[in-house]
Structures are given as C-alpha cells and as structure tokens.
Amino acid sequence: MTSRKVNGKRTIKTRITPMLWFDTQAEEAANFYVRIFPDSRITEVSRFPAGGPGPAGSVMVVGFELDGQPFTALNGGPRFKFTEAISLVVNCDGQREVDRYWEKLLEGGGQTQACGWLKDRFGLSWQVVPTEVVEMLSDPDPAKVKRTFGAVMQMVKLDLAVIRRAFDGR
C-alpha cells in the first residue's frame, strides 16, 4: 500500500499502486510526469543504503501522484523494459486536452504509435483518448460503433472532429 506521513505517523493511502520499473531514471521520469499533469507531486524519495544493489545514496524508489493517483517508480536496473502489454490511459475532455497531453508526453524523444497510443521517452506506453470516443464506442447502434472504430484505427493521434463525423455517418 502507498503510505504517507501525517503528524509524523505513516498512514496508508491506497491499497493498489502501480509500480513502474526503470533502469536509473525513476526520479527523472517522476519529475517529468508531475510537470505534465495537474494536481501532481513527488511524495517521497528513498535512497539505496550502503551495500545495496545500487550505489549508496542514489535514488532507489520515488513515490509520486499524477492527478491524485499514486505511483511508485523503482530504479531496478536494466533487467526489465516497458512493453505495450501495459499502458496508462489519459482520459481527455476534448481535442484541446488530447493535443496538450499528446505533445507533452512526446517531449524529449517519445514516439507516436497507432490509435491514440504513444511511448514517452522512457518507453512507457500511454493512450490519449477523448472520453467522448469511449462513449461512442459504447453506443447501442453497432453501425455507429463500427464507423467510430474504423476511424480510430486509421489514426495516430485521435482527431475528435473526424471521429464525430464517422460516428454520425458523415
């Protein structure tokens, strides 16, 4: 569980916290993400002790929150890398938010993917999605869903105006 100190005592905040494994960039990545999302902050930094697997005093674990959601970043070494098997979804209120998060997450060497996905410069996959598209894909009309899905599958960054036209059959 993620914890924080309140009045000098450690308290549990949430039961489940995503743990992100980095080689040596945990603190750099956490700071990068905290700058992108509102209501975000570094909550704690732990350092390797002498005799630990990392250099004594170097960052071992960084606790951080993105828009109130807790995460932990670990400097675990080069053994594991991120894959597309897991991604973080950014639910956006309209095209302006899609554009903003898309640009920010790509800063410093990220790579675009298909269907609203990208990899940031640390290799973590993100889906930047307007919430309206999720609603369209849940519509009871299968023809609308098919057109919406078809439009999304043709895109890299999602374009809400084009997706709306597909949904409406225009």
Q: What is the pLDDT of residues 126-139, one digit of tens each?
A: 999 999 999 999 99
Is 163 strand, coil or helix? helix
User: Mean of the pLDDT values across residues 108-130?
Assistant: 97
CB atoms within 10 A of CB 147: 20
**Does domain 2-75 correspond to CATH entry 3.30.720.100?**
yes
User: Mean of the pLDDT values across residues 7-28?
Assistant: 82
Is 39 strand, coil or helix? coil
Task: Compute the half-sphere exposure of residue 5: CA atoms within 13 Å on the CB side of its CA.
Answer: 6
- pLDDT(1) > 50: no
State in words which class domain 87-168 has. alpha beta
Q: Pairing between strand 2-6 and 41-47?
A: unpaired
Contact assessment for residue 158 and residue 98, using Cβ atoms and an 8 Å cutoff: yes
Domain boundaries, the chain: 2-75, 87-168
Same fold: 2-75 with 87-168: no
Is 26 strand, coil or helix? helix
Note the pTM of the prediction, 2 decimals.
0.88
Q: Which of 94, 74, 81, 65 is nearest to 159 (CA)?
A: 94
Which residue shows structure tokens 């895109």? 155
Q: What gap in Å lies between CA 62 and CA 121, rounded to an integer?
A: 18
